[in-house]
Structure 1
Amino acid sequence: MKKCHIAYLACTAALLGTGLGAAAPDAGHRVHIVHPGESIQKAVDAARPGDTVLVAAGTYRQSVDISTPGLTLRGMGRGTVLRPAAGTATTAPAAGTGTAKPAPKPAKPSKPAKPAKPAKPAKAPKPARSASSCAASGNGICVTGTKDHNVDGVTLASLTVTGFTKNGVYATDADGLTVRRVTAVKNGVWGIATERSLHGEFRDNTARDNGDAGLFLANSVKEEMGATDTDGTVVEHNRLTGNRIGVTVRRLRNLTVADNLLTDNCAAVFVVGDENKPKAGFVTVTENRIEHNNKSCPKTARLDALQGSGIVLTGAEDSVITRNVIKDNAGKSPLSGGIVLFKSFVGTTSDRNRISDNLLRDNSPADLVNTDTGKGNAFEGNDCRSSKPAGLC
């Protein structure tokens, strides 16, 4: 028993020391190690608040649902990869496939066949695992609380989620969610997404070639409601490229998007509000590098065609756009331009926003574009060469 305990500690120390830069968990908290071929969900289900599930490098064809507060799910870097489970048949195999047993020989006339014993009643199916729910929805990792009880303090770190039909990472009703060094690539809708969540930290992630936003943060996508206060969520030091939109902040307040690299998306940053109260706003977008977001995306039921949009504010108030470098974003969409104030599609204006001290070059149709009729918007100290209407630079 002593040898087993020593081996467990040695293995844990070796894995923690392999490029993760992570300290050992606090006393009383366990590390659950998962190797290729094993179930991440099983380790998550066995973990208690404060534990770490450490996933070794390899490819795991599975989804994971997390509802344990304080849990850390950590990989070994980009080499720890979650992909959708391999497809399985959903219907009974057709005749002639070789899967059915051959029919029994007919009974001899002189010896009638004995009546078959009644079949034993089938056992009730076990309830579906939470991971199956996450997978069935097309997601890779789900962090799930409830409207009445948030899941607190979950951390996702140092792994890749790719190829899921919907979202790579999807969190609802999470408080204090941290997502760091996660790579979300080629997922059908969002790379990393949250709804109804507070105090989030999204740092040093890569979201590339996702169907919609690389990072998507919203109050709710299914309910009409006013913007919610995130209590200081931070989106910082991320690399967002090749998505429809790099970062979407939808119907939220009190959030910072800072020091990110956004390139080759159809649009880099969207701050979106609507007619609900309170309005979206009090969002700070600062010190981002936004270049060449000229990928072309077709019109959808909710949004016009996109191309060449740097930062777009629509239906937002009291936000600050400052000290960003915005270059070479060009397109012919109504939303094209370096920094764009755009009256929302439901007619809500953007008011009292401050656009200051940004460096803008070679954006088309202009570096600064204001087609909004809102009040109190200020353009101050920007280093730019063109604007619509003239005089904003």
Structure 2
Amino acid sequence: MKKCHIAYLACTAALIGTGLGAAPPVAAHRIHVVHPGESIQKAVDSARPGDTVLLTYGTYHESVDVSTPGLTLRGVGRGTVLEPATAAATGSTAPSTGSAAGSGAVKGSKGSKETKGPKAATSCAASGNGICVVGTKDHNVDDVTVASLTVRGFAKTGVYATEADGLTVRHVTAEKNGVWGIATEHSVHGLFRHNTARDNGDAGLFLANTVKEELGATDTEGTVVERNRLEGNRIGVTVRRLRNLTLAGNHLTGNCAGVFVVGDENKPKAGFVTVRENRIVRNNKSCPKTARLDALQGSGIVLTGAEDSLVTRNVIKDNVGKSPLSGGIVLFKSFVGTTSDRNRISDNLLRGNSPDLVNTDTGKGNTFEGNSCRSSKPAGLC
């Protein structure tokens, strides 16, 4: 009987092996381990959707293009460092879409459409960015994660994404990059959590519809920026011509300005942005005037050309400067004449700013309620 039972099992196994009654095979997700001196790009190019490219401890002199959906590019912490391949890369001039454009589209300018397709994916990293996550207008790159590493010293942006859906960037340190620390355009459903962006030429975190065309604000479909540390940049976080986005629980200090929510004359207008429970302290670095924006110093949160946004339960202290945009929370009419309308500024704690609340906007329906503050322009907002 024992021999018969064994034979039966063998026959059953043989039948399953031929596919009779068998479940379809499931491809295993692979981990591609890369060490300093080896090519990250080669590992990324050989990875399949759902795979992880794991970068071990050390410094990599390389830029990387990612266009594989579901890919995770991960280091082992801040000790995994990406720097430019050559010293020349750090010396190149910032692009026209850099600090002037990133500071906020308070002065509009038209530009050419960006290149799409494989050439764009190839050129992004080569043009001075660190890590590029690049889809196309017709096909987003979905569910990419960049995590647990440092990107430092790139001429343009540390981590840049365009046409990305569901991008996650977490535990990334982006420092001393020429334009932006971490930036996205044409992207939705993003999550930016527990990152540090410091000493970048323009914004530590920059999120926009596009910087190359004049378009109305686009819906991010719920992008979240939370628990990041942003320090020593021109602007901590810039949200430009976007709708439906949340900034929560971030710490911003030592920038020229903490948060910018920026719109312009295009339709739909920027708005439906929630800025809540952030700590915004001593953003008193001085930055000169640009083609798009006045000199900056001592700005906590600035809304310009935005509508239907909520600024609530933030702690905003000691933001002091002599810029027209200085103050704890500032509603500022954009330089192209667009007003901010129906924004609610409520339940914030403001101390030591100069002044705490500012409203130089002529828009309708803006309200200041329940804020703990001591000074305002005009008087009576506290």
Q: TM-score, normalised by structure 2?
A: 0.84
Q: SS where residue 219 of structure 2 aligns?
A: strand
Question: 5 Å matches for 1:45-124?
Answer: 45-87=45-87
Q: Match of 2:174? A: 184
C-alpha offsets along residues 123-175 of structure 1, whole Å, 9 cap, x if unaligned?
A: xxxxx998862333110000000111100000000000000000001100000
1:371 to 360, 367, 371: 360
Distance verdict in 2 for CA 1:341–1:129, change over 3 Å: closer
- 8 Å Cα contact 1:41-1:131 kept in structure 2: no
Q: Match of 1:100? A: none
CA–CA separation in structure 2 for the residues paired with 1:63 and 1:131: 12
Distance verdict in 2 for CA 1:367–1:88, change over 3 Å: closer
C-alpha offsets along residues 290-330 of structure 1, whole Å, 9 cap, x if unaligned?
A: 00000000000011000000000000000000000000000
Question: 5 Å matches for 1:266-305?
Answer: 266-305=256-295
CA–CA separation in structure 1 for the residues paired with 2:287 and 2:33: 42
- 8 Å Cα contact 2:223-2:244 kept in structure 1: yes
Q: Match of 2:36? A: 36
- Name the % identity: 84
Amino acid at match of 2:246: T
2:337 to 347, 367, 378: 347
CA–CA separation in structure 2 for the residues paired with 1:300 and 1:281: 24
Distance verdict in 2 for CA 1:88–1:179, change over 3 Å: closer
Aligned: 1:158 with 2:167: no
C-alpha offsets along residues 314-357 of structure 1, whole Å, 9 cap, x if unaligned?
A: 00000000000000000010100000000011000000000000
Aligned: 1:167 with 2:161: no
Distance verdict in 2 for CA 1:361–1:88, change over 3 Å: closer
Q: SS where residue 180 of structure 2 aligns?
A: coil
Q: Match of 1:138? A: 128
CA–CA separation in structure 1 for the residues paired with 2:34 and 2:119: 18
Q: Match of 1:9? A: none
Amino acid at match of 1:375: K
- 8 Å Cα contact 2:199-2:233 kept in structure 1: yes
Aligned: 1:309 with 2:299: yes
The structure whose Rg is larger is 1
Question: 5 Å matches for 1:242-253?
Answer: 242-253=232-243
Amino acid at match of 1:270: F
Q: SS where residue 256 of structure 1 aligns?
A: strand
CA–CA separation in structure 1 for the residues paired with 2:192 and 2:199: 18
Question: 5 Å matches for 1:7-26?
Answer: none
- 8 Å Cα contact 2:63-2:126 kept in structure 1: no
- Ranked by relative contact order (alpha carbons within 8 Å, sequence separation 6 or more), the top structure is 2
Structure 2 unmatched runs, 5+: 1-25, 90-117
Distance verdict in 2 for CA 1:235–1:221, change over 3 Å: same
Amino acid at match of 2:67: S
Amino acid at match of 2:379: A
CA–CA separation in structure 2 for the residues paired with 1:265 and 1:86: 28
Deviation, 1:367, is: 0.2
Deviation, 1:227, is: 0.2
Aligned: 1:380 with 2:338: no
CA–CA separation in structure 2 for the residues paired with 1:275 and 1:132: 34
Structure 1 unmatched runs, 5+: 1-25, 90-127
1:148 to 138, 158, 172: 138
Q: Match of 2:219? A: 229
Q: SS where residue 171 of structure 1 aligns?
A: strand
CA–CA separation in structure 1 for the residues paired with 2:159 and 2:136: 17
Q: TM-score, normalised by structure 1?
A: 0.82
Q: SS where residue 252 of structure 2 aligns?
A: strand
